Amino acid sequence: MKLQDTVLSNIDRISRGALGFALIAVAYFTSGFLGWLAVLPILAIVPLMTATLGICPVEGALRNAFRHERKVVFQEPAIKQR
């Protein structure tokens, strides 16, 4: 996996940072028993770290896992020149 395959654009970085802070804010501003909402700040670590570092190894790994070669199903016959 090449590093340039996983570099994020500025829009990706901003949106991941906003998502991370939103996950923390939901858990912080929820009143009463948190239950499963207590997991949100832990889940926020991934988007915040990818926004801070600017690379996403998970995205690169998934891109490589689902990359496949195209198979030619039908190929037109070559036209012979006279």
User: How far apart, in whole angstroms, are the C-alpha atoms of residue 71 and residue 6?
Assistant: 26
* Predicted pLDDT of residue 22: 94
d(CA 11, CA 34): 31
pLDDT at 69: 58
CA distance 21 to 47: 9
Average pLDDT over residues 12-30: 91
| pLDDT over threshold 60, residue 72 | no
Please count the other Cβ atoms lying within 10 Å of the Cβ belonging to residue 47.
21
Q: By C-alpha distance, which of 42, 49, 40 is closest to 22? A: 40
pLDDT at 68: 61
Band (pLDDT 50/70/90 cuts) for residue 21 is very high
**pLDDT tens string 25-67:** 988 888 778 788 888 889 999 999 999 988 887 777 777 666 6
